[in-house]
Every structure is written in structure tokens, then in C-alpha cells.
Amino acid sequence: MQVRIKFFAAHRDIVGQSQQTLALEPGATVGTLWERLTTAYPRLQGYSGRLLYAVNQEFATLATELHDGDEVVYIPPVSGG
């Protein structure tokens, strides 16, 4: 199955692009995709445990199962004042 990942803020800087499409095995979850991304881009690991997750523009959890054509977003922490 194919999923599209969108990257924002520091994640976009680390990955070097705003989105990419990856092939995943059936039954993959938001968490297994994050593991794959942190393996490919080790600097993302520093954000683990500090993210919000969205699948198809709805909040999700690490256990959310992905399906062909899903759009996944890992939302990094934001700061401002």
C-alpha cells in the first residue's frame, strides 16, 4: 500500500522535502511508519514522544492502522509567544 506523508517545520528541514510517498506493508500503523522514518532520518528521533498525529486530517494515535492512499502528518511541537 502507498501512503503520503506531509512534513512541516523542523521535520521538513530534516527530511528536505514537504511530502513523500512510501510503500508500506498491510497492517502498518502510524507508529510503524514513524519508526521507519526515524531509521531513514535519525534526527527525527528527538521528536519521539512529543508529537501529535493525523491521518486524513483527523487526529490519530500511534496504534492507528493505515490504509492505501492515506495522508499522514506528524505534527511537531510549536513554540511562540
Residue type, 63: A
Closest by CA to 34, choosing from 70, 1, 77, 72, is: 72
Cell numbers for 76, please give them.
511537531
pLDDT in tens, 40-66: 999 999 998 889 999 999 999 999 999
Would you list the domain boundaries of the chain?
2-75
Q: What's the whole-model pTM score?
A: 0.90
Q: Which fold has domain 2-75?
A: Ubiquitin-like (UB roll) (3.10.20)
**pLDDT for the residue 49:** 86
